[in-house]
């Protein structure tokens, strides 16, 4: 197994700041609720919110555990700790680390829509469009990427590599 750098730390930080600028322009006067998909998007969401708070925007935050992977295996979508009624009449931004097939994101969007938010948008750090099987709207995208297993900046494989300050592509026969 080897790790190839995919997105260096300084490039990553600059893009997250730029995304926060876009979000601030779009939501400066809105009752924004950010829905963070745990665990992978926690660090990305924390950094986005830190930049927004520095500009005076203090969105509400909901952490939702939504996943489809166990190690490297894909399974059914599981969503925990999500009460869509908290989204009623609010501007809602779902934040995820990676848009892959879109199955997990679509599941979260379906549940979020039940809360009848004013708007429902999606912000992802990485977009792996070549694997998309669901039509999902991606309103804010950090980086388009190729079909590789990514680690770092909150993303992991078997609980490892989340702490990296950059994003790498894991090269291994399993991926």
User: Catalytic positions, please?
Assistant: 100
SS3 87: helix
3-state secondary structure of 62: strand
**What are φ and ψ of residue 108, in 5° steps?**
-65, -45
Whether 45 and 95 have beta carbons less than 8 Å apart is answered as: yes
Number of CB atoms found within 10 A of residue 65's CB: 13
Where would I find the H helices in 28-157? 42-54, 103-114
Cross-strand partners of 168: 5, 151
């Amino acid at each position: 197994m080897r790790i190839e750098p995919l997105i260096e730390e300084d490039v990553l930080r600059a893009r997250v700041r730029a995304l926060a600028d876009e979000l601030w322009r779009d939501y400066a006067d809105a009752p924004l609720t950010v829905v963070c998909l745990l665990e992978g998007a926690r660090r990305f969401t924390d950094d986005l919110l830190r930049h927004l708070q520095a500009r005076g925007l203090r969105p509400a935050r909901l952490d939702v555990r939504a996943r489809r992977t166990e190690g490297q295996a894909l399974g059914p979508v599981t969503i925990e700790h999500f009460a869509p009624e908290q989204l009623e009449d609010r501007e809602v931004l779902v934040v995820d680390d990676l848009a892959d097939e879109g199955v997990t994101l679509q599941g979260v969007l379906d549940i979020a829509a039940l809360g009848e938010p004013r708007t429902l948008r999606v912000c992802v750090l990485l977009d792996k469009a070549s694997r998309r099987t669901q039509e999902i709207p991606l309103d804010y995208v950090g980086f388009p990427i190729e079909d590789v297993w990514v680690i770092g900046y909150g993303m992991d494989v078997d609980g490892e590599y989340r702490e990296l300050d950059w994003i790498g592509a894991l090269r291994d026969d399993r991926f």
